[in-house]
Structure 1
Amino acid sequence: MENYRNKVVIITGACGGIGEAIAEKFADAGATLALCDIRQDELSQTAEKCRQAGATVHSNAIDVADEAPVRGFCETVAQTFGTIDCLINTVGIVDCPGDVEELSLSMWDRTIAVNLTSAFLMAKYSVPYIKQRGGAILNIASVSGLANQEDATIYSVTKAGLLSLTRSEAIDLAKYGIRANAISPGSVETPLLEAAVDQAAQLFNRTRDEQWQVWRSQYPTQRFTSPQEIAELALFLCSERATNITGANFVIDGGLTALLPER
């Protein structure tokens, strides 16, 4: 396992699913953690789990799409721990359906703010500290940034934008010893996926098990990705073993995007 002792790692969206799995994995690796999420109670629970694993943790419930709290959070982290080494952005909302005609402007604006602007703001206010000794930025994107689904316009737009932001960060920040990469998962076994399965089962008049099977059958591996699998890759990409990996996007989707559907 990678050693993150004396490394300060910011993780956004640290409650539940991918963010929590990443936080726990970095805690086990010895990192000092700065965790944020908009959900205070769940954030406190995640922070306590990481402390029990031996990590030093600072946490704060903020809206990462709001500039002032983001600036304050990054400043506090740097003042408390002396620096910032890694930024991992996992925040995202998926409940934003609609085509270009149906989608409201308010939903368009909010999804861009949460899924894309938040990653920009977190980088803007953490990079001045990461520059001090170099480090890494990791953005959790999605296969929806590579190929689109019906009635999911804005989600795909934001994830494609996040991949482009990652490449720009890699190019512009390389001179400071900062690397930037992305991970693009397919469906991940999280509470969000559980809720989506329930909704789809009702919509298509299927049982819950039937809906799970329909979705799993789209994947060559016949299964979804676990948050822990994403966390393992995140641990590697931010580590000293990946010092010449930057501007890259790593797909974890069970072969979904490799598959050409039958005609």
Structure 2
Amino acid sequence: MMCASHFRWMSSARSEAGRVRDINEDACLDEPARGRWAVADGMGGHAVGDVASRLVIEGLRQLPDAANRMTGNLAQARVQLLSANQQLRDEAARRQVQRIGSTVVVLLACDRFCGYLWAGDSRIYLCRNGQLRQLTRDHSHVEALRASGQLTDEEARHHPAHHIITRAIGATDQLVLDEDTIEVADGDVFLLCSDGLSNELTDAEILAALVATSPFDCRRITDELVDMALARGGRDNITAIVVLAEDPLAADKTLLNPTS
């Protein structure tokens, strides 16, 4: 049974190779009608990262329609990602390379809730009431240093080891995924992105793009974010998905109780 969503979902995705790399090792999933979105970033410098990210995304695309319980949806996604991990480990062994890997971040909508799970440094941000919040925490060497107080936020942003991640699909035999859920509010905007975007833009710049005047246009905002990252140098592959949640009941209340 497909999960009945209380919200109307609109979204837009864009993925670019950037200005330095020849191959786009990012891949993404943008399915607002099914309430699922994902970004995967093939591990730079490793063999066939584009193959890894596509395998992860195609596996998520083949998930059955969501059940009416968020826990079940997250469990299905987790099983699929564990399967992708094993496939990438097997492929690395077949090619006789150390690893073929990809980050992943997945957002799933069901009723009044979103669930999300991730491995690596691709991110989900939430923009609510003009405030930006990073929902995921990077699985990276630099984030571990920042979290322990050894680096400031500014030092972490410019640290030369910011590309070293500590978890990824295909990196090890045993995949560890983090997950969480959040109750959705009318007007919530989610941003899923690879580090090619978050490494180029500050939180303030991301927030400024997501706080748009009415009517909200997912495509325009996605383009604005990616274009800004390209203008900064586009030193990595860049992927962004902008997702808007609208509560029909809140809209109906506005129509029934117009302001004077």
Comparing both structures, which one devotes a greater share of its residues to strand? 2
User: Please, what TM-score do these two structures have when normalized by structure 2?
Assistant: 0.30
Larger RCO (CA within 8 A; separation ≥ 6): 2
User: Please, what TM-score do these two structures have when normalized by structure 1?
Assistant: 0.30
Comparing both structures, which one devotes a greater share of its residues to helix? 1
